[in-house]
Structure formats: C-alpha cells, structure tokens
Amino acid sequence: MGIVTKLNFVNFSHDFNNSKVVVFQKNIATSYDELAIAWKTIENCGVGSSHPFDYPWDVEVNAIDSYGNHTRKLLAAPGQAFEIKLGHSGYILVSSNTPAASSQDIEVVNTLARGSIYVGIYRNNKLAALKCNIVPKEKAVFRFSPSIWIGVASDIQQGQEMSSAVLSSINTEIPLLGIAEADIEMRGGGAGSTSYPYSFTLTNIRYL
C-alpha cells in the first residue's frame, strides 16, 4: 500500500442548516471545463464534531462497457497507459506496452472494434473521476494536482457528477503534497447580519 494522508474534518462553523460538505478533485488533463465527481460527502457532522477520512495517493482505474459490465480495477500511476480490449470471454482492461504520452497522465485507450466505454478513477475505492463515451481509437486521459477541493453544497450525492453551478461556487483548494496528517477546520456560517462565508483551513499539520 502506498502513501496515505490522514485528514480530519472539524466543524467549527455557525451552521444552522446542517449543510453537506463535499470533497472532490479536478481532472486537469482536459482543456475544457469538465464536471467533477463528488468523491466524498460529509453529512450530519454537527458543530464541534469531527469526521476523519483517508486520502490515499494510489488510485485505481476501471472501464464500463456498453453492456454495463465493469472490468476489474487496476492500480494506476501517473505515466501509465491501459487498453480495453476483447479477451477470450469478453471485454478486459489491461496495462499497455507503451506508456502514456505524458508522465503526469493516466490514459485508457478504447481498442474495441465498436462500442463506447466509460472510464472511472477510484481513490480509496470511491469514484473520483469519470470520462464518458470514449469511442473506439479514442482515449480517456486523467491528471490530478496533489490537492483536494472542498466546499458546502446541497443535493449532492457521493459518486455523482456535480453541476457547473456547484463547481463555480466552491473555490477552496487544499494542497496535500508532503502532508501525513492534518485537520480541515470549517468556520463561518450563521444567520442574518452576523453570518460569514464558509471557510476551510488546514491546521495541525504533520509532514511526511
């Protein structure tokens, strides 16, 4: 098992609405605004309470074919490339003999004669990114900064795509490079003239 950053969300806010907190990453390999996946949601965490969770640096990749079949997940590192191909008993995902075009990217090529695929990236066994409708001879490309994004949102389900409106309202990026453990403190909230925007701060940091 690779490096794992241990995080602890702590609610120091004045939230009276039992708000849901969402944690996600952005696939920066694309040149256009791609909708992100809610990697983790934190719910019903009252004021003064905390919610620990792990951020493993290793990720896994799998593919979903047009029949709804999910391939097994394979460990994936930046610079690796994979192929979905027809095996003896159906579609399979295998490591490619050639690396990805960039040492920072993870690539999955659709080598099938026909049929589009979906490609998912998983962190801590939770869906973190998804590329849809990859047609034959095309590839899905993923690249992530060593950071997470966090914010308050409603009507967000873990593992589901987030709307552009929600994404545009969340602007807190938390860098994790070199960090072994840390708290994420949420402050702000409240009602009326005493309310403040929600903020998220990394504290009690212990480095690798």
Confidence at residue 200, expressed as pLDDT on a 0 to 100 scale: 98
For residue 76, the enclosing domain spans 59-142
Confidence at residue 191, expressed as pLDDT on a 0 to 100 scale: 78
Q: Are residues 63 and 123 in the same domain?
A: yes
User: Which residue, 142, 172, 193, sits at the end of a domain?
Assistant: 142
Confidence at residue 31, expressed as pLDDT on a 0 to 100 scale: 61
- Do 200 and 173 meet the contact criterion of CB atoms below 8 Å apart? no
Half-sphere exposure in the Cβ direction for 7 (13 Å, CA): 25
Q: What is the mean pLDDT of the chain?
A: 94
Q: Are residues 118 and 100 in the same domain?
A: yes
**Section 38-55 average pLDDT:** 96
Tens of pLDDT along 93-142? 999 999 999 999 999 999 999 999 999 999 999 999 999 999 999 999 99
**Section 52-75 average pLDDT:** 95
User: Which residue, 142, 161, 195, sits at the end of a domain?
Assistant: 142
For tokens 């708000």, the residue is 19
Q: Are residues 124 and 67 in the same domain?
A: yes
To 10 degrees, the CA torsion angle through 12, 8, 27, 60? -160
Which of 46-50, 89-93, 101-105, 192-196 is predicted least confidently?
A: 192-196
Higher pLDDT, 60 or 90: 60
pTM (two decimals): 0.94
Pairing mode of beta strands 4-11, 179-189: parallel
Order of strands, sheet of 81-87, starting from the edge strand that comes earlier in the sequence: 90-95, 81-87, 106-110, 139-142
Confidence at residue 95, expressed as pLDDT on a 0 to 100 scale: 97
Question: What are the C-alpha distances in Å from 124 to residues 28, 57, 73, 192?
Answer: 20, 9, 12, 39
Q: Are residues 164 and 96 in the same domain?
A: no
Confidence at residue 78, expressed as pLDDT on a 0 to 100 scale: 97
Confidence at residue 66, expressed as pLDDT on a 0 to 100 scale: 85
User: Which residue, 119, 142, 165, sits at the end of a domain?
Assistant: 142
Percent of the chain exceeding pLDDT 70 equals 98
Confidence at residue 89, expressed as pLDDT on a 0 to 100 scale: 87
Structural domains of the chain, count: 2
Q: Are residues 94 and 37 in the same domain?
A: no
pLDDT band at 1 (very low <50, low <70, confident <90, very high): low
**Section 70-83 average pLDDT:** 97
Residue 204, sorted as left (phi over 0), alpha (psi -120 to 50) or beta, turns out to be left
Tens of pLDDT along 6-35? 999 999 999 888 889 999 999 999 766 678
Name the token pair of 96: 């490619």
